[in-house]
A and B are shown apart, each in its own frame.
Chain A
Amino acid sequence: DQQVKQNSPSLSVQEGRISILNCDYTNSMFDYFLWYKKYPAEGPTFLISISSIKDKNEDGRFTVFLNKSAKHLSLHIVPSQPGDSAVYFCAALLSGGYNKLIFGAGTRLAVHP
């Protein structure tokens, strides 16, 4: 049973527009969420994170929103650039002191000119 779900396997966006990647989770004991970006033949790299006590975190073109009541988070990229084309993974941490990340299946973002 997947605890972290990314229901859109792929997303195509025009350069300069907003990309919105979505993530849902089922476990209310998650207290920290992270987004990773992965290019082919490379390991994932950390992008942005958010604590469950916040509802928004922003870093340059990237903003993550958390809606705890809906158990939903989203990553917004504005403006989208061709170099943003990659697979994006949502991940979550369970409260209780362990740092075992639970990942979603990923969403492949394609930003076209």
Chain B
Amino acid sequence: EAGVAQSPRYKIIEKRQSVAFWCNPISGHATLYWYQQILGQGPKLLIQFQNNGVVDDSQLPKDRFSAERLKGVDSTLKIQPAKLEDSAVYLCASSLTSGINEQFFGPGTRLTVL
């Protein structure tokens, strides 16, 4: 069974530029999560999707971050414009449903904002 796929693995941009990350969850997983992991900290949830609907985006800085999961499968997270403090690893995870099903994590995208 293929795991959660993310791309790119690394991205370096200048502040005020835009960037997008892509995530393809495990086949059949209805719930998709985006976490932000700043160096030295644990991951923090940015947004949770159930199929193509948003369950929780309370921690998403909506003035610059956006995310979509149009067909209820893969998802894109965008930052526009980026700030220095957005430098982090962005982790995507998926689970069968939003119940106790295990969350499976992708390898992450390491973003550096200069």
Pair from one complex: no
B residues with a Cβ closer than 8 A to A are: none
Binding site for B on A (CB under 8 A): none
